[in-house]
């Protein structure tokens, strides 16, 4: 059986910690000295995800989002963070995160979204190193109207309550696509400066979105807002395959727990 230290070397090879942003907190938040019984991959760490890990016989959970990213004053057993950590320590479950260091690499979070959308000539939207960087930009094999492309995005992603929201004219043609997994409004300027016809990311706010659509440009930039969980969950399967390829004997599962907090949406005229 494989030890945690051994599998952590694979994680470092796949997602070097040095690639993480300075504000980020990738790596282990809990660990143990037991052999790894199985790995569960998830976007977030929640009590339900840890219970799933235990039910599936996994004592290592690899999440995209760090569990303790912001300053934590206490981990009391009855608090949000404390209850999860108490459970993890009680049941000897190691928790590991690969966050911005997993965003930038080939077959990382943004790269997988670009590939699943069928883009070609995929390159980082903002290059940080050889074939690495923030977001991705690529081309569709055949251009299509924005409305049809948005439907393609919705079909590519897992179901989410709010679907995809689109800023742009339904008829405008889409050929070059920029995207960023997670909350990528900090790369709107990079998308505006690129050849992209559309920029896909999550958690877009009113003002940056409005300003982007109104920015003078050869052709207006359309924006598509997608579920943060749905977009990033595409990476889990690819990460699971990479771990399985490195350690054939280890059981690797992708979490079935949907951690998208949005459960339903409703509009005027609907019941
Ligand atoms: Zn994220």
How many whole angstroms from 145 Cα to the centroid of ligand 1?
28
Residue 37 lies in a domain: yes
In this structure, are residues 67 and 135 in contact, taking their beta carbons and an 8 Å threshold? no
Q: Is the pLDDT of residue 71 over 90?
A: no
Average pLDDT, the chain: 97
Residue 99: per-residue pLDDT? 97
Estimate to the nearest angstrom the gap between the alpha carbon of 44 and the chain centroid: 10
Structure tokens at 220: 């207006």
Domains of the chain: total? 2
Could you tell me the distance, in angstroms and rounded to a whole number, from the CA of residue 44 to the centre of ligand 1?
9
Q: Which of 79, 102, 125 is the last residue of a domain?
A: 102
Same domain, 221 and 153: yes
Q: Find out whether 98 and 14 touch, Cβ atoms under 8 Å.
A: yes
**How high is the pLDDT of residue 130?**
81
**pTM for the model:** 0.96
Contact (CB, 8 A) for 226 and 153: yes
CA 203 to centroid of ligand 1, rounded, Å: 10
Distance 65 CA to ligand 1 centre (A): 6
Distance 218 CA to ligand 1 centre (A): 31
Cα torsion 37, 43, 49, 55 to 10°: value is -40
192-203: per-residue pLDDT in tens?
A: 999 999 999 999
In this structure, is residue 142 part of a structural domain? yes
**270 located within any domain:** no
Burial class (CB within 10 angstroms; exposed 0-12, middle 13-18, buried 19+) of 49: buried
The 10 Å Cβ neighbour count of residue 4 is 17
Instruction: Give me ligand 1 centre to Cα 99, in Å.
Output: 7
Could you tell me the residue range of the domain that residue 140 belongs to?
Answer: 104-229
pLDDT, tens digit, for every residue of 214-243?
Answer: 999 999 999 999 999 999 999 999 999 999
Q: Which CATH number fits the domain that encloses residue 179?
A: 3.40.1390.30
Of 102, 132, 166, the residue at which a domain comes to its end is 102
Boundary of a domain, candidates 229, 244, 260: 229
Give the Cβ contact number of residue 84 at 10 Å.
Answer: 22
Residue 241 falls within a domain, yes or no? no
Q: How far is the CA of 228 from the centre of ligand 1 (A)?
A: 6
Residue given tokens 């559309």 in the structure block: 198
């Amino acid at each position: 059986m494989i030890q945690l230290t051994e599998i952590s070397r694979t994680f470092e090879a796949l997602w070097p910690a040095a690639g993480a942003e300075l504000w980020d907190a990738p790596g282990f938040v809990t660990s143990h000295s037991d052999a790894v019984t199985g790995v569960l991959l998830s976007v977030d760490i929640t009590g339900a995800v840890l219970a799933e890990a235990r039910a599936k016989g996994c004592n290592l959970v690899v999440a995209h989002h760090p569990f303790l990213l912001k300053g934590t004053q206490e981990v009391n057993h009855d608090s949000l963070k404390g209850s999860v950590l108490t459970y993890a320590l009680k049941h000897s479950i190691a928790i590991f995160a690969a966050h911005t260091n997993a965003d930038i690499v080939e077959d990382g979070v943004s790269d997988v979204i670009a590939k699943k959308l069928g883009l070609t000539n995929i390159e980082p939207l903002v290059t940080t190193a050889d074939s690495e960087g923030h977001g991705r930009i690529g081309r569709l094999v055949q251009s299509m109207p924005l409305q049809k492309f948005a439907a393609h995005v919705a079909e590519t992603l897992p179901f989410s309550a709010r679907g995809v929201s689109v800023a742009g004219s339904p008829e405008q043609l889409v050929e070059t696509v920029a995207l960023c997994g997670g909350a990528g409004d900090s790369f709107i300027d990079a998308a505006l400066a690129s050849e992209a016809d559309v920029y896909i990311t999550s958690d877009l706010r009113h003002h940056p979105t409005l300003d982007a659509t109104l920015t003078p440009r050869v052709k207006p930039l359309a924006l598509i807002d997608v579920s943060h969980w749905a977009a990033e969950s595409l990476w889990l399967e690819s990460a699971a395959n990479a771990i399985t390829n490195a350690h054939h004997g280890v059981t690797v599962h992708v979490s079935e727990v949907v951690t998208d907090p949005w459960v339903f949406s409703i509009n005027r005229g609907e019941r």
